[in-house]
Amino acid sequence: MNAERWRGAVFYQIYPRSFQDSDGDGVGDLKGVLERLPYVASLGVDGIWLSPVFASPMRDYGYDISDYTAIDPLFGTLADFDAVVAECHRLNMLIIVDQVYSHTSIDHPWFAESRTDRTNAKADWYVWADPKPDGAPPNNWLAAFGGGMWAWDSRRRQYYLHNFLESQPDLNLHNPEVQDAILDVARFWLDRGVDGFRLDVANCYTHDRDLRDNPPSGARNAVRPYFMQRHLYDRDRPETFVFAGRLRALTDQRPGRFLLAELASDDPEGAVAQYTAGENRFHTAYSFRFLSKPFGPEVIRKGVEDLFARAPDAWPSWAFSNHDFDRAASRWGAGRGPDFAKTLIMLLTSLPGTLFLYQGEELGLPQADVPFEALRDPDGIAFWPAYKGRDGERTPMPWIAGAAHAGFSTARPWLPIDPHHIPLSVDRQEADPQSTLAFTRDWLAFRRSRPAFVQPGIVFEDGTPEGVLMFSRGEGALRLVFNLGSAPVAPPTSGGRIVYSLGVAADQAGSLLPPGAAVVLEPSPKRPV
């Protein structure tokens, strides 16, 4: 593995519950992941991000961990995990795994001890606070999944903090002993050969010690009360950088490993700039900028330019879809035709940074329609119908169109397979040279052949027709033109030769670029004098 191979790499996120079931219980598992890794490698990606497979009561489907160093039997064993790591490396792919350090499950032994009284050895391992004189919680903080951020515990006669579900108490990462314990967890997985970590809600690691009230945001009509506050004191605290520095130092002891931080912030570019500044913070980070915003060339350009204006030397990560947000094929591609999924893949993986494709994105899967009675996501159940939760992006992969449950499992899957996904199954697309899957393989092979894509820097061009996004990569080595509008345009493709085209024949791209089409140009070779 090359040092810092993650820079400029394309990763493929696997949500194991929905990838491949190997034992017929309707839930995907590690042996299923192992079985399908050759398929992932065939896409031409550089690595995988594996979502949580750790011991958990699954109230938040693995993001509520009850044992950080154990694999949940639902997914397999540590030996199965080791086999996945070994196979990734045999296939020349990196592997990073989710780590959830902000909170644990209420079932974690640490919390069981912490809640017994106020004097036990782990009494200060979680965030506890006394009630106000009238018995009310200590402040007005609101949880992301609804209700207040404080839950009463009758044993200690105190409130404990939970950013998300009441069953997910927050660790007190102000406490050096807690930091030490978490570093031991990280060391455990690094020693098993993983190439890095995706750090869940990394800007929620610490809180304001004075427990000051959050001010209102002004968003009075938000579906979730959570968004009616500016989260000044329950996240994005400067004390987080102390722990980030310790975690970075541990990771840097193993060359080539890296830390990817997830940052949910009201200031996406500012958060990425802050949390990746210098060598004592995270290596890279992604925000929700392209996961929750309206689509358009101006959105892409502003998001990228704003980040580099704030942090010229930052190495960002980008994604258009993942397990927490509606699939981009529906969110951004609705009404544009099925081939627009190809455009989005090409655009994402042309940006400077480290890129993440979500399972099924290479098939152009739209957001699944999951009826209320089949929902499993507590977030969706709480806010239905205004917000349908995250199950629509978490439904099982369709592998074989004619097989029971699309080849995902021999049993009824934990979430239903959307009938609209069946025609987009892997076996159908394997047989179609015009499919999104075929395009993904072809495009990523081309991308690998051009060093400009893994280099830093991007320059957007002004004066383009409406709906057109144009930029250069690699100090002008490549020039890319995307028609993201709704009408054909005469593209500004002079000054180079077309070396790759999407949605239009290369010999016709100079005259008219249809909606969704894109081209890559290289400077024309100089003629000898």
Which residues are tagged catalytic?
200, 262
Q: What are phi and psi for residue 327, nearest 5 degrees? A: -60, 140
Cα–Cα distance, 128 to 124 (Å, whole number) = 7
Cα–Cα distance, 344 to 331 (Å, whole number) = 11
Token representation of residue 489? 């345009």
Cα–Cα distance, 1 to 162 (Å, whole number) = 39
Task: Please state, in angstroms and as integers, the Cα–Cα distance from residue 105 to each residue in 60, 177, 256, 354, following that order.
Answer: 9, 19, 31, 31
Query: Chain-centre distance of CA 439, in angstroms?
Result: 22
Give the closest residue to 269 by CA, choosing from 282, 284, 287.
287
Q: 519 with 504: CB under 8 angstroms?
A: yes
Cα–Cα distance, 95 to 45 (Å, whole number) = 11
Token representation of residue 84? 């996945």
E strand or H helix at 247, and its extent? Answer: helix 240-252
Task: Please state, in angstroms and as integers, the Cα–Cα distance from residue 193 to each residue in 95, 248, 258, 527, 528, following that order.
Answer: 9, 17, 12, 50, 51
